Amino acid sequence: MQTMTRVNERTVAAASGQPIALLSFQGDISSTSKDMLLGAYHRLGSTVSRVLLDFTAVDYINSSGIAIIIQMLLEAGKAGTRTIGIFGLSPHFHKVFTMVGINKYAALYADENAALAVA
């Protein structure tokens, strides 16, 4: 049975002191998550230049969920004003994200501290 997707937003500071929007996902990510994920991403507004996506509490991502994440990354790329980092992936999904080329559009980090140290 699929676990409902939740998204929490907060602002964190990078090692440089710059603010970064952090979207923490919980539950499963699938086609039913589209409005939740893209809605949260769009609510960030155009002034946010750095975004971290936290997958620490995500148990499952199917191919439709990966497509939603790719859509988000492509939107960021088209705007050209936003960088995205991803952390908290299980080893399996880290491998999947690398295989489908997500790492070409977003940096993959082991955890939040690693992401903030580089940002």
Residue 99 lies in a domain: yes
Measured CA to CA, the distance from residue 35 to residue 41 in angstroms comes to 10
In a domain, 16, yes or no: yes
Query: How confident is the model at residue 80, as a pLDDT?
Result: 75
Domain for residue 111, yes or no?
Answer: yes
Three-state DSSP class for residue 8? strand
Q: Which tokens in the block code for residue 27?
A: 């539950």
Domain with residue 52: its CATH number is 3.30.750.24
Inside any domain, residue 1: no
Mean pLDDT of 72-97: 91
Examine residue 52 and state whether it is found in any structural domain, yes or no. Answer: yes
Say if 114 falls within a structural domain.
Answer: yes
Compute the chain's Rg from CA coordinates: 13
Q: pLDDT at residue 118 above 90?
A: no
Please report whether residue 20 resides in a domain.
yes
Q: Which whole number is the average pLDDT over 28-32?
A: 95
Per-residue HEC secondary structure of the chain comes to CCCCCEEEEEEEECCCCCEEEEEEEEEEECHHHHHHHHHHHHHCCCCCCEEEEEEEEEEEECHHHHHHHHHHHHHHHHHCCCEEEEECCCHHHHHHHHHCCHHHCCEEECCHHHHHHHC
pLDDT of amino acid 112:
95
Domain total in the chain: 1
Enclosing domain of residue 96:
6-118
Least confident of 52-61, 79-88, 96-105: 79-88
* Per-residue confidence (pLDDT) for residue 2, from 0 to 100: 67
